[in-house]
């Protein structure tokens, strides 16, 4: 009885040690249903990498269970219908293995699957190329071999999608796509020719509108309570104006200084600030001066800020201790040199010019 138990244990160990299979692996599809490489009664299961792996019976071994441990008499199992008329059947008398060599465009153990059947495109469809190989044709907004990589461009007032491999912003309203939907453009107006007989009907409403507009302006000019209440009712909240304030401040500046800290990196408003500044820098309208005030994590940086730090020389705040006094002086000197150069003699020249004019008049 003990000898039988020992043999059973050795049999179980040899059966398990053939090829390990991770039973907990979660795969998008079962590769064994499309391609079964196991022979001689081997069982195909997906491994931890979602690839086909064979579990062999005790009497065979090998990666695909192709080697028998003891000689065995076998018969040719090839029939005209074995490969489903899409391949040639071959039989190995030594290993007693039957194998189908599939035609172009077919795959599987018995050539019963077309190439696209064994290929999974997450966001797209499979297309055959010359009946030799297959390729995923991705939907708009996705790329990659299996169409599993999405668009990464940050579009402020719109959505990002991919067109022929290029990231494009689909903006809302009249925002410009080339500015990541941050700048709004006024659409051109069309002028139509009106019939003269309609001018009389249009003149009266236009005149009334003009009188009403002038009346409203006069009441607002002299601060009538009635008109102030109307303006206050339709006035936007202050938090809605932050976006426009940031854009106006950056566009009117020749230098944009970014004081980088952990709180600055995670803020949505500051993210918009350096994105707008980056667009202005690309247009050669201004320069960006990054200053690292406190240590920041690289993992928290988004794509645009990481690109700015890699392409522009930044300054580091040395601190305010006595030991850092020389470094602090160098820091302010470097910051001064990065600012726009001003004409120091401009005021004095103006004074001299005024004196010359006064002398000429006398």
What's the pLDDT tens digit per position in 219-268? 888 888 888 888 888 876 655 567 777 777 777 777 888 888 888 888 87
Does 101 score more than 80 pLDDT? yes
Query: DSSP class of residue 191?
Result: P
Looking at the DSSP assignment, which residues form a beta bridge with residue 133? 129
Both tokens of 215, joined, read 């009346």
Question: Which is higher by pLDDT, 278 or 23?
Answer: 278
pTM (2 d.p.):
0.29
**Is the distance from CB of 110 to CB of 84 less than 8 angstroms?**
yes
| Sequence-ordered list of residues with C-beta below 8 angstroms from that of 307, at least 6 positions apart, any chain | 278
User: In this predicted model, what pLDDT tens digit does every residue of 7-19 receive, in sequence order?
Assistant: 333 333 333 334 4
pLDDT band with cut points at 50, 70 and 90 for residue 362: very low
pLDDT at 121 over 60: yes
Q: Give the mean pLDDT of 116-125.
A: 71
CA distance readout (Å), 192 to 169, 189, 195, 201, 242: 32, 10, 10, 16, 38
Nearest to 179 by CA among 160, 198, 202, 155: 155
- Measured in residues, the chain has a length of 362
Looking at residue 4, its pLDDT comes to 39
Tracing tokens 């599987």 back to the chain, one arrives at 108
State residue 197's pLDDT score: 65
Q: Which long-range contacts link 222-227 to residues 24+ away (Cβ below 8 Å)?
A: none
Query: DSSP secondary structure string, 274-304?
Result: HHHHHHHHHTTS-EEEEEE-S---GGG--HH
Q: Would the pLDDT of 99 be above 70?
A: yes
Which of 22, 66, 27 is closest to 47 using CA atoms? 22
Residues forming a β-bridge with 91: 98
Give the pLDDT score at 286: 74
Best-predicted range by mean pLDDT among 145-159, 193-207, 348-362?
145-159
More confident residue, 13 or 41: 41
Determine which helix (DSSP H) or strand (DSSP E) holds 333, and give its type and residue range: helix 325-338
Average pLDDT value for residue range 168-180: 82
Percent helix, strand and coil across the chain, each rounded to 5?
40, 20, 40
Sequence-ordered list of residues with C-beta below 8 angstroms from that of 328, at least 6 positions apart, any chain: 318, 319, 320
In the chain the domains, ranked by start, together with CATH numbers, are 31-68 (2.10.25.10), 74-114 (2.10.25.10), 242-337 (3.40.50.10140)
Number of H helices, E strands in the chain: 9, 17
Assess contact for 191 and 217: CB atoms under 8 A. no
Taking CB atoms within 8 Å and a gap of at least 24, the contacts of 76-85 are: 82/110, 83/110, 83/111, 84/110, 84/111, 84/112
- Under 8 Å between Cβ of 91 and 77: yes
For residue 276, give Cα distances in angstroms to 176, 238, 359: 13, 20, 51
């Amino acid at each position: 009885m003990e000898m039988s138990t020992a043999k059973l244990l050795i049999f179980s160990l040899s059966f398990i040690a053939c090829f390990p299979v991770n039973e907990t692996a979660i795969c998008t599809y079962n590769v064994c249903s499309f391609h079964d490489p196991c022979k001689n009664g081997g069982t195909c299961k997906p491994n931890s990498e979602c690839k086909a792996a064979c579990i062999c019976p005790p009497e065979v071994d090998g990666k695909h269970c192709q080697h028998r441990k003891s000689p065995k008499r076998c018969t040719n199992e090839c029939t005209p219908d074995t490969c489903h008329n899409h391949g040639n059947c071959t039989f190995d008398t030594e290993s007693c293995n039957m194998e189908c060599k599939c035609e172009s465009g077919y795959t599987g153990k018995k050539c019963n699957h077309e190439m696209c059947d064994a290929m999974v495109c997450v966001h797209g469809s499979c297309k055959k190329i010359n009946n030799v190989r297959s390729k995923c044709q991705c939907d708009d907004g996705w790329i990659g071999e299996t169409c599993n990589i999405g668009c990464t461009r940050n579009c402020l007032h719109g959505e990002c999608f991919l067109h022929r491999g290029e990231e494009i912003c689909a903006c809302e309203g009249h925002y410009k796509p080339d500015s990541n939907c941050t700048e709004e453009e006024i659409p051109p107006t069309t002028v139509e020719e009106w019939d003269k007989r309609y001018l009389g009907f249009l003149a009266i409403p236009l005149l009334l509108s003009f009188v009403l507009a002038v009346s409203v302006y006069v009441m607002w000019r002299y601060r009538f309570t009635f008109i102030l209440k109307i303006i206050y009712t339709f006035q936007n909240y202050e938090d809605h104006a932050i976006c426009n304030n940031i854009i106006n401040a950056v566009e009117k500046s020749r230098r944009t200084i970014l004081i980088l800290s952990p709180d600055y990196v995670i803020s949505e408003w500051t993210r918009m600030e350096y994105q707008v500044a980056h667009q202005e820098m690309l247009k050669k309208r201004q320069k960006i001066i990054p200053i690292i005030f406190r240590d920041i994590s690289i993992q928290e940086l988004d794509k645009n800020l990481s690109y700015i730090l890699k392409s522009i020389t930044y300054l580091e705040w040395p601190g305010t201790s006595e030991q850092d006094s020389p470094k602090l002086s160098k820091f302010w000197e470097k910051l001064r040199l990065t600012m726009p150069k001003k004409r120091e003699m401009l005021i004095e020249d103006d004074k001299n010019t005024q004196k010359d004019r006064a002398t000429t008049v006398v």
